[in-house]
Structures are given as C-alpha cells and as structure tokens.
Amino acid sequence: MNWSLSPPSLPVVALIAYFLGSIPFGLIFTALAGGGDIRRIGSGNIGATNVLRTGRKGLAAATLLFDALKGALAVLLARRFCVDATQTAMAVAAVSVVIGHCFPVWLRFKGGKGVATGLGTIWVLCWPVGLACCVIWLAVAKLSRISSAGALTAFLAAPALMPPLSEQPIQSPLPVAALLVALLIWVRHYGNIVRLISGNEPRVNMNKPQ
C-alpha cells in the first residue's frame, strides 16, 4: 500500500481531473441539438436523467456516455502517467473529476450529481465493482422507475464491494476513493433523498415521445 506521491504531481492530477469533470456535456449536447438550456428544463440538472426528461433519448444516452467517459479518462490518465504511486494518483483523479462535474467553475459551481462520472471512475478503479454498480443501478431504476433510487443504491454498494473485489485493504487508496465518490454523490442527492422518503420523487417516463 503506497499513498506517496511527490509534488507537483498531486495538484496536477487533481487539476486535470477537475477540469475534465467540469465539461458539461448535457448542457453542450442539448444546446447543439436546439433544445435550449437544459438548466431551464425539468429539474434544472445538467445530467443524463434531466436530458431524458426532454424526450430525447439519444441526447440522454450521449450525455450518459460522455459523462462516464470523462470520469474513466481522468483515472486512466493518472494510471498511465503517475507510475510512482499509481493507486494514489487514480484515487485523487477519481474524486477530483467527480468534484469537477458536481461543482464546475464555468457554471458557477452548479453542476450535475456525478452518477455517470462516478461510475466511469469506478469502472477504471476496479471493473468488477463498476459492473456490479451498473447492474444494481439499472435494476433498481428499472423496477422503481426512479433514477435516483438506482444511483443511490449503486453507490451505497460501491465502497462495500471495493475491498473484496479489488483485493485491497479498506484503508488503501482505491476503497477510500470509492467511499469519497459515494459520499459526494449522496450529498448531491440530498434533495432526492428527502423526496424519496416523502414519496414525492418524480419517476422517469421512458415512453415519452421524442
């Protein structure tokens, strides 16, 4: 277990990952497609779930894919270029890219909720955990028709699954990164959690015409 990473590598990893995460693909894709400002539609969120509420499934799928890819890319770059302390760099990148998505400087720190980006990071940190989280998310969301329920369940499972599936001690970088990413996503879903408890969380209409 190695947590060491010499400066300036650590801040460079964090900054690159943050700026990757801050790219608002949902906002960009919706605007380019003539859908206006996604922040004025539905929940006002820039993520794939809110894009889906416009009825444009293709745009929602593209947003989901690119938000996940930026999370994966940040961790892959850290793994590729920080060979002196690979796991530490990957952990820093994973947390930083999700922070960038949730709090992008370009949008006055009002971003998305980090689900797709978080899943992208988990896939690269440990792909069996990423696969398990995707299955959990899709299964719960399909059964409940509530995207947030699937996301919260998946990221509740991620920190618990990371130590056994990655074969790393719980205090090592990868499990700690999974825990911090999960905490960020749960904090960003505070309003959803309140609505879930009260029974007022909106359901996603998968059959809405395009």
**What CA–CA distance (Å, rounded) separates 153 from 142?**
13
Over 60: is that where the pLDDT of 209 sits?
A: no
Mean residue pLDDT across the chain: 88
What is the rounded CA–CA span in Å between residue 5 and residue 82?
8
- Per DSSP, 41 falls in state S
Chain segment 149-165, per-residue pLDDT in tens: 999 999 999 999 999 99
3 versus 143: which is more confidently predicted?
143
What confidence category does residue 208 fall into, taking pLDDT thresholds of 50, 70 and 90? Answer: very low
Decide if 21 contacts 181 (C-beta within 8 A): no
Do residues 94 and 155 lie in contact, with contact meaning Cβ atoms separated by under 8 Å?
Answer: no
Separation between Cα atoms, residue 12 and residue 31, nearest integer Å: 31
Q: Nearest to residue 70, comparing CAs of 52, 87, 46?
A: 46
Contact 48, 61 (CB under 8 A): yes
**Separation of alpha carbons 145 and 64, rounded Å:** 17
Q: Which pLDDT does position 3 carry in this prediction?
A: 43
Instruction: Tell me the per-residue pLDDT of 84-105, one tens digit each, with 9 for 90 and over.
Output: 668 899 999 999 999 999 999 9
Question: What is the model's pTM?
Answer: 0.89
| 121 vs 3, higher pLDDT | 121
What pLDDT does residue 1 have?
Answer: 46
Strands of the chain (E only): list them.
Answer: none
